[in-house]
Amino acid sequence: MNKFLQEVENFFATSGWKIVIFMAVLVFGIIIVRLICKILRKIMLKSSLSKTLCGFLLTILKFILYIILIFILADIAGISMTPLITAFGAAALAIGLALQDSLSNLANGVLIMGTKPFKIGDYVEVDGIGGTVKAIRMITVELLTPDNKK
């Protein structure tokens, strides 16, 4: 039992400051991410961007900021960054390839919401099909044709 206590004491004597720094960076990192997101949410909601697009962009930004925080914490903990970045890159590539069509639709939705080429109530024609825009969502645009089909 005495040897165990001595090992615990040695661990905290050699790694104590590293643990304190890790916890401080974790707490301040979370606070900073939340503060940045809160400030950007206020700025975006005052802009001409739609609420849906603002929410989407903030979600992506929050994800990226937390990933950066995780990389910083891993570096503080002494975890080698090269395998971590390689694994993250491989996972992102696999997800990107698997969701290629959905991501394309999502990117088109962001472009439509950002550029606002049409709004709800406008009559549009796409590939020979025309209709009145009833809803604009991130992945889909809902049209109501003259013969009441969605």
Q: Predicted confidence band at 121 (pLDDT cuts at 50, 70, 90)?
A: confident
Residue 54, amino acid = C
Mean pLDDT of the chain: 84
**Alpha carbon of residue 48 to chain centroid:** 21
- Distance in angstroms (rounded) separating the CA atoms of residues 62 and 35: 11
Asked if pLDDT for residue 49 goes beyond 70, the answer is yes
Contact 52, 4 (CB under 8 A): no
- What share of the chain in percent tops pLDDT 90? 22
- The pLDDT tens digits for 54-107 are 888 898 899 999 999 998 998 888 888 888 788 888 998 998 888 888 778 778
Average pLDDT of the residues in 97-121: 79
Cβ within 8 Å of residue 96, ≥6 positions away: 103
Tokens of 48: 């001409």
**Alpha carbon of residue 144 to chain centroid:** 32
Q: How many of the other CB atoms lie within 10 Å of CB of 95?
A: 11
Give the per-residue pLDDT at 2: 74
Angle at 56 between CA 50 and CA 58, to 5 degrees: 100
Closest CA to 49 of 105, 107, 113: 113
Does residue 117 sit in helix, strand or coil?
coil
- DSSP string for residues in 18-53: HHHHHHHHHHHHHHHHHHHHHHHHHHHHHSSS-HHH
Give the per-residue pLDDT at 66: 95
Asked if pLDDT for residue 47 goes beyond 70, the answer is yes
Give the per-residue pLDDT at 31: 96
Is pTM beyond 0.85 here?
A: no
